[in-house]
A and B are shown apart, each in its own frame.
Chain A
Amino acid sequence: MTDIPNAIEISGLSKSFGETTAVNDIYINIPPGTTLGLLGPNGAGKSSTLKMLMGMLRPTHGSIHVFGHDLATQAPTIKQRIGYVPESNQIYRWMTITQALRFSRAMYQSWNDQHAANLLDLFQLPSHRRVRNLSKGMLAKLSLLIALAHEPDLLILDEPLSGLDPIVRDDFLDGVMQDICHNDRTVIFSSHLLDEVSRLADSIAIMNAGQILVHSHTQHLLENARRIRAVLHDGRLPQSSPPNAIWQNINRREWLMTLYPFSDASLASIREQNPIHTLDVSPLSLDDLFRDFIRGQARC
């Protein structure tokens, strides 16, 4: 049996800016051919993590291996296999789209002219227009085109949809989806737009305050999380909080909590150890689950 290395292995990664810790000791392994949605509020450390992954920031601690290569020593080789779309694109503003593509083509050994032409057609970009005259949506599409045209094994999208209108967002996501469907590509997609992430991601990692709170398969995550609404006996308070409650709130007799991972045993334990009058269990949307993870950590 041959061992297929993970596309990405992040081990003990930390990044500090002075006394501020942006990323705090994170570990993630991403198998090849999967799509990871990296979720988190602003300032969670998503962009810093992705910039370290692109070799644009030097980690304070830890290591990053991409396709088995150490990023610290082999960044130029690894970058040949990565396509990156940043939150704000800084392509040379004096270049026309044709010049930007010609320049990028010279940088990648695996640049595919036919694929680039197809994407140019798909995104309907005016090839003779200068980058400085492009709208934000066109710029995002150009950035995606450059990221995809060399057919990378790993695609990193760092909040590429922020500030784009819904139509451009759809065009962009269609482009990404089409590409992912036709290729065995590993994708990391950072966003705080949960609908888009849930459309694309096989697995989800939720980040806050520089830490990974949870990293799991999207379906597994949603199937194993439950919102519990308990009504307590009059005048009584909860006696014991379950250890797997990621967030809870008490308002008079109503005790709301989100359990992850949820199990029947934990439900039975809540019933046994607390003065419960009635108890409802309901599934959560990704949106609710994300909020509960973040709110729960804020209360801690």
Chain B
Amino acid sequence: MLTALLHKDLRICRLPLIVGLILLLAPFAMAAAVIADLPLWTNATPSNAWATLLGTGCYFSIMCSLPTLAMISGSIIAAERNDRSAEFLAYLPPSRKLILSSKAILLITVATLIAGLNLALLALAHTLATDTQTVHAVTTNLLPIHNLAAIGLAAAGAGWFASSIASTTGPPVTLAFAAPAAILGILAAIRKLTNWPSQENFSPAYYTTCIALGILTFTLGSLYYIRRVEP
């Protein structure tokens, strides 16, 4: 039963998955095109050059995959209400928990594949490079990957929560994209009003809030979907 549900969810998310695959792989091609003209490619040893390419590609691949998670989480539940196929599913025997499990498995699998592939390539880059700095030569001044993960969690959680409530996919996907920026804006406003968090604690507070809200919205969305009787 779960296999059939997973197969169906894969088909429902076909478009975000295709876009996601492009966003997952395209950064490597783009990194190659950009780095090929830089001295750090032409002057470096082959192993260091490849390490820089892989390190840069992985970073942008993870960054570009955040919209994939936002699109999938925002549409995975609401898409079936959008075309009313949720009504068909509602009178079949699978329980709400099983239906939701299939969707959660798909989302977690996609996130794991994105993270797994990129972290494996990153590990390979570290093996090839003579020093860590080489791997992060291009991305050294950008956000660390674990902070990107926190932003991704907030986006996916917001999308999941909105998708469990909404009848169309537009608003949940929009909310998923907007959530990290909205959290940033709200936190900045709080800081302006209360002087909390301090300048040096602002980033940790932001990422902690992203993680907390991500987990909370996933939990609330799941509970709402399971308790809701109407498809």
Contact = CB atoms under 8 A, between A and B. Distances in A.
B87 A56 contact: yes
B81 to A, nearest CB: 10
B1 A90 contact: no
A107 B91 contact: no
Contacts of A106: 1, 3-4
A86 B229 contact: no
B95 A84 contact: no
A107 B230 contact: no
A56 B230 contact: yes
Give the one of A75, A91, A107, A108 with max B CB within 10 A. A107
Contacts of A91: 85, 88
Interface string B72-111: 0000000000011111101111110010000000000000
A92 B88 contact: yes
Interface string A53-84: 01111100000000000000001110110101
Given A55-B229, A56-B231, A57-B229, A107 B87 contact: no
B8 interface: yes
Interface size class, chain B? 20 to 34
Contact of B85 (A76, A77, A90): A90
A108 B7 CA distance: 16
B146 interface: no
A54 B91 contact: yes
B93 A79 contact: yes
A93 interface: yes
A90 B93 contact: no
A76 B92 CA distance: 8
B92 A104 contact: yes
Contact of B87 (A76, A80, A82, A90): A90
Contacts of A57: 229-230
Contacts of A84: 91
Contact of B229 (A56, A82, A89, A107): A56
Interface in B1-51: 1, 3-4, 7-8, 11
A90 B92 contact: no
A136 B98 CA distance: 31
A75 B94 CA distance: 9
Contacts, number: 59
A104 B90 CA distance: 12
Contacts of B92: 79, 104, 107
A79 B91 contact: yes
B93 A108 contact: yes
Nearest to B94: A107
Interface in A80-124: 80, 82, 84, 86, 89-94, 102-104, 106-108
Contacts of A86: 87, 91
B88 A107 contact: no
Given A58-B229, A106-B3, A80 B88 contact: no
A103 B85 contact: no
A107 B1 contact: yes
Contacts of A107: 1, 4, 92-94
B205 to A, nearest CB: 41
Nearest to B228: A58
Contacts of B87: 56, 86, 90
A283 to B, nearest CB: 39
A189 to B, nearest CB: 16
B84 A90 contact: yes
Given A103-B8, A107-B4, A80 B93 contact: yes
Interface in B170-214: none
A90 B94 contact: no
A76 B229 CA distance: 13
B88 to A, nearest CB: 5
Contacts of B230: 56-57
B17 to A, nearest CB: 14
A229 to B, nearest CB: 47
Contacts of B7: 103
A57 B230 CA distance: 6
Contacts of B93: 76-77, 79-80, 107-108
Nearest to B84: A90
A145 to B, nearest CB: 14
B90 A75 contact: no
A104 to B, nearest CB: 7
A92 B91 contact: no
9 contacts: A56-B91, A76-B93, A77-B93, A89-B88, A90-B83, A90-B84, A90-B88, A92-B85, A107-B94
Given A56-B231, A57-B229, 11 more contacts: A56-B91, A76-B95, A79-B91, A80-B93, A84-B91, A89-B88, A90-B83, A91-B85, A92-B8, A106-B1, A108-B93
Give 10 nearest A-B pairs by CB, closest first.
Answer: A106-B4, A58-B229, A79-B93, A90-B84, A90-B87, A76-B95, A90-B88, A107-B92, A84-B91, A92-B85
